[in-house]
């Protein structure tokens, strides 16, 4: 009766993916590299992005990183 039971997959993009999709290829690479760089804390990266006009919360960055592991 419960064969194939799976959680629903969200059709909505994450906030990080929304931001990435709105950037040009060069900026996408820079952000992806920063997201994968353990030297960037989520808070530090969020603050640096905000100074450049990109609003991305530390919690969104943390969720993105946790889902990539």
Is residue 9 assigned to a domain? no
d(CA 40, CA 53): 18
Is residue 52 assigned to a domain? yes
pLDDT tens-place string over residues 5-27: 988 877 788 999 999 999 999 99
Is residue 2 assigned to a domain? no
Is residue 57 assigned to a domain? yes
Residue 69 pLDDT > 80: no
- Provide mean pLDDT across the span 59-66: 96
pLDDT at 67: 87
pLDDT tens-place string over residues 44-62: 999 999 999 999 999 999 9
Report the number of distinct structural domains present in the chain.
Answer: 1
Is there a contact between 61 and 17 (Cβ–Cβ < 8 Å)?
Answer: no
Residues 6+ apart with CB under 8 A from 55: 49
């Amino acid at each position: 009766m419960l064969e194939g039971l799976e959680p629903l997959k969200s059709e909505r993009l994450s906030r990080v993916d929304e931001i990435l999709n709105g950037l040009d290829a060069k900026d996408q690479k820079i952000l992806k590299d920063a997201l994968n760089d353990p030297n960037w804390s989520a808070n530090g990266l969020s603050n640096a992005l905000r100074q450049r006009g990109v609003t991305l919360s530390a919690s969104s960055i943390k969720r993105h990183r946790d889902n990539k592991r």
